[in-house]
Chains A and B, each alone.
Chain A
Amino acid sequence: MNRFRSIRPARRAGILLALLAPVIFAASIAIVAGADTNAPVAQASELKVAAAKTAKKPEKKKLTGAELYQFHCNRCHAERYATEFTSAQWKTIVTHMRVRANLPAAQAREILKYLQEDSGN
């Protein structure tokens, strides 16, 4: 340290500048390279966030008319074939069963839709 202090200030500044130059250069390369290597990671994480935002939450599966038919109708009697009655008859019968079996209206509508799809002529 004493020898370095004995060097004139201007020369000391030159020596420090000469030493700092490669350090700064190396650091700049590392920074640039680091930026390049981190870029995909940043993009991937952003993509994940964006995907998470845009992805819909998994919806609960809504019961189909066929499933509701199995839930309710087989409780009391053997299942009837859709072809046994016409579309108009099914509407009347399902209205009757909605009252008799206390079916929620929305479920009765799904069951009716299912039965009318293959109803008889």
Chain B
Amino acid sequence: MKISSLLFGTVAAACVMGAALPHSASAQVSADDFNALKKVVEQLGDKVQKLEQTHEQDQKTHQQDQQVIQQLQQQLGETKAAVTNAQQTADNVAKAQAANPAVNASPGPLHNVTMAGDAEVQFGKTAGQHSAFTLADFAPLFLYRASDDVLFEAGFDIMNNNNARPPGGHSTSLSLTFATLDYLLNDYMTLQAGQLLLPLGTYSERGAGWLNKIPDDPMVRDDLLPQTGTGVQLRGAVPVGETGQMVSYAVYGVNGPSSATGTATATGDLDLAGNVGNGGNWHANPSGGGRLAWFYPWKPHYDFELGISGQTGDWSDSGNRSWSAAVVDAALHLGPNIEVKGEHIDTWVETDDVGKIHPSGWWIQPAFKLAGLNLELPYINNVELVGRYDRENDDGLTAGGAGNTKTDRYTAGGIYYFSNTLLFEADYEWLISHGVAPLPPNRFILQLSYGF
């Protein structure tokens, strides 16, 4: 009975599976078809294997061909270079022989010399004076690249001043604006030695005639700060990320301002140019200074720069009087047509006669190119409107104990760009000046500038 029971169960299971299998098998592939398909797949596999082998052989052949082509190209380049050199040598020899048999065909010492610079002519009228062509200035800049790491640079000012009457008179001068040896120590640091343009703010380094959008300088730049100093400087920049941001720095030691007479009174003794100016070096210790700045561009033509700089040192051994300055500078560009820049300047001068005085001032200069209006009118796109406000308080630096002079100056003008380097500037200035040595109430200046 047991056997019959198991048989019954097995038969029952077989019946159920038999009933189920035909339905599912009807959706499957038959054994013959499967075998045929398997054979096809195996044949395809063989074909793929053969193709892969063929491909590998082709790749090897291609690589060999590439190497041969490269060698042939190299040989061709060398042959071309040899031919070119031979032709050049033949030409040079022929020219040299024709002109002078002794001429040396080498590039010569002037090969790495480049001249840049600018030139200006001014016409102007100051209240209470006649109008006149007041200035002709040629300011060449000579650059000599001695090697990839060494650059000599020197800037000169050859200037003729024709003063309108009164007081009249004229003067012609040749001066050395700056002269430095630059040694690029590495990607982030350069050593400069010589007569430096001082990085007190940015105006000294970026204020050449065709760079400055107004013909004259802000009052505080001319009256309160030295433009140059003789000494050494370490400077450079460190990029921040890959977006163009950078932090720039400069640290320097220079002779610094001096006394024109050897004494330290406030009435005209301070010679800001120091011993590179009119007077000798009337002090023993050099001055030290530096600048730290952050430049943040967020897309081409859109950027912001903020810098802080300063200098301090003795200017006269008469009582060890010190002179110090602090400058905050900023510049903003909002596209290729809008610019705003300015500086705030504080100085402190110890004197024999009036103690410590605090001459100071600031200026701000917005500019707008009319091309930004997209007017498509003739000439309009070449015009840039410029304005400037500058203020100075000499705090007795001019007249000493007699008192101080405060001046507010408003300037409005424009630039017409004949080209990217030839420009005509026209400006009118209103001055509100109070104190011991007030300035004339108004003035206009026309200037033609060329940068090269």
- B113 nearest CB neighbor, chain A only: A92
Residue of chain B at shortest CB distance from A63: B244
Rounded to whole angstroms, the CA-CA distance of A77 and B212 in the bound complex is 9
**Which of A10, A20, A92, A103 contacts B112, CB < 8 Å?**
A92
Contacting pair A104 B421 (CB below 8 A): no
Decide: B114 and A76 in contact? CB cutoff 8 A. Answer: no
Task: State which residues 292-351 of B face A: CB under 8 Å.
Answer: 293, 297, 300-301, 303, 305, 331, 333, 336
What is the distance, in angstroms, from B284's C-beta to the closest C-beta of chain A?
30
Which of B10, B182, B336 touches A99 (beta carbons < 8 Å)?
A: B182
With an 8 A cutoff between CB atoms, is B26 at the interface? no
Q: B216-260: which residues lie under 8 A (CB-CB) from chain A?
A: 235-239, 242-244, 246, 248-250
Whether the Cβ atoms of A15 and B9 lie closer than 8 Å is yes
A17 to B89, CA, bound (A): 104
The answer for the CA separation of A100 and B197 in the assembled complex, in Å, is 9
Judging by beta carbons under 8 Å apart, are B211 and A96 in contact? no
Query: What count of chain B residues pass the 8 Å CB interface test?
Result: 61
How far is it, in angstroms, between the C-alpha of A96 and the C-alpha of B17 when the chains are bound?
93
Q: Which of A34-42, A48-56, A81-89, A113-121 contacts B (4 or more CB under 8 A)?
A: A81-89
CA distance A8 to B325 in the complex (A): 115
Which among B46-54, B62-70, B185-193, B359-367 touches the partner chain? Answer: B185-193
Closest residue on chain A to residue B182 by CB atoms: A99
Contact A104:B5 (CB < 8 A) given known A63-B244, A70-B300, A71-B300: no
B282 at the interface (CB under 8 A from A): no
The verdict on A105 contacting chain B, using a C-beta distance below 8 Å, is yes
- Residues of chain A lying within 8 A (CB to CB) of residue B420: 78-81
**Are A102 and B151 within 8 A (Cβ)?**
no
Contacts between the two chains (Cβ within 8 Å), count:
138
Nearest CB of A to B212, in Å: 10
Bound form: Cα–Cα A98–B421 in Å:
20
Is B8 at the interface (CB under 8 A from chain A)? yes
| A30 shortest CB reach to chain B, Å | 11
Cα A119 to Cα B190 in complex, Å, equals: 26
User: Distance in Å from the Cβ of A3 to the closest Cβ of chain B?
Assistant: 16
Cβ-defined contact, B211 with A77, below 8 A: yes
Smallest CB separation, A61 vs chain B (Å): 8
**Residue among B113, B188, B244 with the highest chain A CB neighbour number at 10 A:** B244
Please, which residue of chain B has its CB at the minimum distance from the CB of A26?
Answer: B20
Q: Which residues of the partner chain A approach B1 to less than 8 Å between Cβ atoms?
A: 8, 10
Decide if B143 is an interface residue (CB 8 Å cutoff).
yes
Q: Is the CB of A75 within 8 A of B303?
A: yes
- Chain B contacts for A85, CB-based, 8 A: 114
In the bound complex, do residue B206 and residue A76 qualify as a contact, i.e. CB atoms below 8 Å apart?
Answer: yes
Is A88's CB under 8 angstroms from B111's CB? yes
B246's nearest neighbour on chain A, judged by CB, is A104
B58 interfacial contact with A, CB 8 Å: no
The answer to whether A95 and B246 have CB atoms under 8 Å apart is no
User: In the bound complex, do residue B238 and residue A104 qualify as a contact, i.e. CB atoms below 8 Å apart?
Assistant: yes
Question: For residue B16, which residues in chain A have a CB less than 8 angstroms away from its CB?
Answer: 18, 21-22, 25
CB contact between A107 and one of B8, B239, B301, B303 (< 8 Å): that residue? B239
Q: Which residue of B lies closest to A17 (CB)?
A: B9
The answer to whether A96 and B151 touch across the interface, beta carbons within 8 angstroms, is yes
Give the contacting residue for B5; candidates A14, A62, A107; CB below 8 A: A14
Query: Residues of A contacting B244 with CB < 8 Å?
Result: 63, 67-68, 71, 107
- B5 and A75 contact, CB distance less than 8 A: no
- Quote the shortest CB–CB distance from B60 to chain A (angstroms): 25
Residue with the greatest number of chain B CB neighbours at <10 A, chosen from A20, A21, A26: A21
Q: A13-B9, A95-B151, A105-B187 are in contact. Are A74 and B114 (CB under 8 A)?
A: no
Contact of A44 with B by CB under 8 A: no
Interface check A93, CB cutoff 8 A: yes
Mind listing 24 A-B residue pairs with CB under 8 Å? A8-B1, A14-B9, A14-B10, A21-B12, A26-B20, A60-B242, A71-B300, A71-B301, A74-B301, A74-B336, A76-B206, A76-B211, A79-B420, A92-B112, A92-B143, A92-B145, A96-B153, A99-B151, A99-B153, A100-B205, A102-B293, A103-B237, A104-B239, A107-B246
Binding site for A on B (CB under 8 A): 1-2, 5-10, 12-14, 16-17, 20, 24, 111-114, 116, 143-145, 151, 153, 182, 184, 186-188, 190, 192, 205-206, 210-211, 235-239, 242-244, 246, 248-250, 293, 297, 300-301, 303, 305, 331, 333, 336, 417, 420-421, 451
Taking A8-B5, A63-B244, A99-B192 as known contacts, 7 extra A-B pairs with beta carbons closer than 8 A to each other, sorted by chain A number, are: A75-B331, A75-B333, A77-B210, A80-B421, A96-B153, A99-B151, A107-B244
Across chains A and B, which 4 residue pairs bring their CB atoms closest together, nearest first?
Answer: A14-B9, A18-B12, A105-B187, A70-B300
